[in-house]
Amino acid sequence: MRANRMTDSVRTQAALGALALAVLALSAQPASAQGTELRLSTFVPPVHIIAREIITPWMAAVETDSGGEVKPKLYPSMQLGGSPPGLFRQAVDGVVDMVFTLPGYTSPAFPRTQMVELPGLSPDGRAATELLWKLLDPYLKPEYQGVKVIALWAAEDAGLMTRGKPIKTLEDVKGLRMRSPSAAQARQLAVMGATPVAMPITELYPGLDRGTIDGAMVPFSVIIDFRIGEVAKSYTIPGPLFGRSSFLIAMNQKKFDSLSPKAKAAIDKHSGLEISLKATDVYIKRAAEGVASVRGKAEVVEFSKAEQEKIGKLLRPIVDDWIKESEAKGIPAKKMLGVAKHPAGTP
């Protein structure tokens, strides 16, 4: 009996020893064997169209092509803390590994990138996205120090929406409190006679619902993804009058530099203009779906050609102001506009 107990004790100790060795062996494995988690933080919910159709497939492709060395993971709805305007700074400082955000949330830090938000600069979102990548190196590069740009793109045309009467003419804009996505587009609203109100897109629904704002200048892709169709009652399709918001997926540069050549190659393979244009297409399609979802339930109007020309003429001096302000800061605004083949640009 005693011998059996001793045998059981020996077996137990042996088993515990083997388990301890296994744990030590596992912890001693290099990060590449276990897979390095790359935390991607963003303000959008996991059901958002970009999260589903751009970020999630991107993460899967990078993990596969890196052989599992890196495992990107999405942390939506600000789960890692902070606020939407602070996302870019979190990526630069390495608080998180990656972010999906808008440069417009912190407009003063992106005076060069704001160029794509100038009125009438590009005919559509794809052209604006291609322009961003033409400008990125060297013109926009100073604004992205500390990060690796994975994707940078422009949204579909900005539209107007209100919780009350529709905006059919320039006169209808005057006096309205309108949410603006950035400083550049806030200026356009102010020139038209509205009072711009800066707020993240996550605050648009409650703002319209409670009446703290009358409306918004915003891409119509938000109608479905942020349930704006429940609170906005009128929508105006202005055409390519206003600037387009830019969007960004960026990675902490030091984190990228710390990865193996194989992991870096996987990330590089799936970064750049191609994924950026795909993201633009996703937004353009989502905007059309958003408008379709509110037709028959809300009033949807379009500016006439005469109204487009009237507003376009009113907004034109904004470009001259941007040139003057930018050149005073040492930003080669005219050369950048030259890349865009804008009349105010120089070769």
Number of separate domains in the chain: 2
- pLDDT for residue 2 is more than 90: no
Q: Same structural domain for residues 93 and 80?
A: yes
Q: Does residue 274 sit in the same domain as residue 307?
A: no
The mean pLDDT value for 133-153 works out to 98
Instruction: List own/partner pairs for 165-168 with CB under 8 A and 24 or more apart.
Output: 165/234, 166/234, 166/235, 166/236, 166/299, 166/301, 167/215, 167/234, 167/236, 167/301, 168/236, 168/301, 168/303, 168/307
Shared-domain flag, residues 188 and 229: yes
- Residue partners of 203: CB distance under 8 A and separation at least 6: none
Nearest Cα to 101, choosing from 59, 51, 56?
51
Name the burial class of residue 154, with classes exposed (0-12), middle (13-18) and buried (19+) by CB atoms within 10 angstroms of its CB. buried
Same domain, 49 and 169: no
Question: Do 213 and 319 fall into the same domain?
Answer: yes
Q: What is the pLDDT of residue 16?
A: 43
Q: For residue 271, tell me if it sits in a domain.
A: yes
Residues 70 and 124 in one domain: yes
Give the H or E element holding residue 307: helix 305-315
312's tokens: 């376009």
Residue 15 lies in a domain: no
| Whether residue 95 is found in the same domain as residue 136 | yes
Predicted TM-score (pTM) of the model is: 0.87
Give domain status of residue 18, yes or no: no
CATH number at residue 190: 3.40.190.170
Question: So what's the pLDDT on residue 243?
Answer: 84
- CA distance linking residue 186 with residue 170, whole number of Å: 16
Give CA–CA dist 213/204, Å, rounded.
Answer: 9
For residues 167 and 36, state if they share a domain: no
Q: Is residue 39 part of a domain?
A: yes
Cis peptide before 45 (omega within 30 of 0): no
281 by DSSP, 3-state: which? helix
DSSP state of 169: S
What pLDDT shows up at residue 13? 52
The model's pLDDT over 64-89, given as tens digits with 9 standing for 90+, comes to 999 999 999 999 999 999 999 999 99
Same domain, 126 and 187: no
Report the C-alpha gap between 156 and 175 in whole angstroms.
26
Supply the pLDDT for residue 34: 80
One domain for residues 137 and 252: yes
Domain range holding 205?
158-244+285-339
pLDDT per residue as tens digits for the range 253-296:
999 999 999 999 999 999 999 999 999 999 999 999 999 999 99
Residue 287 phi, psi dihedral angles, 5° rounding: -65, -45
Q: What is the largest CA-CA distance in the chain?
A: 102
Q: Which of 256, 283, 310 is the last residue of a domain?
A: 283
Residue 90 contacts residue 101 (beta carbons within 8 Å)? no
Share of the chain above pLDDT 70, in %: 90
- In this structure, is residue 84 part of a structural domain? yes
Burial 21-39 (b: 16+ CB within 10 A, else e): eeeeeeeeeeebeebbebb
Cβ atoms of residues 157 and 125 within 8 Å = yes
- Segment 203-216 shows an average pLDDT of 97
User: Is 19 inside a domain boundary?
Assistant: no
Q: Are 168 and 317 found together in one domain?
A: yes
Same domain, 217 and 239: yes
- Residue partners of 99: CB distance under 8 A and separation at least 6: 40, 41, 42, 87, 88, 90, 91, 248, 249, 250
Signed CA dihedral, 276, 279, 285, 289: sign only: negative
Mean pLDDT of the chain: 91
1 inside domain: no
pLDDT tens per residue across span 157-176: 999 999 999 999 999 999 99
Q: Does residue 54 fall inside a structural domain?
A: yes
Asked whether residue 147 carries a pLDDT value surpassing 50, the answer given is yes
Q: Which of 251, 252, 242 is nearest to 271 (CA)?
A: 251
Q: How far apart are CA 197 and CA 185, in angstroms?
A: 10
pLDDT at 1: 47
Tell whether the model's pLDDT for residue 14 goes beyond 60.
Answer: no
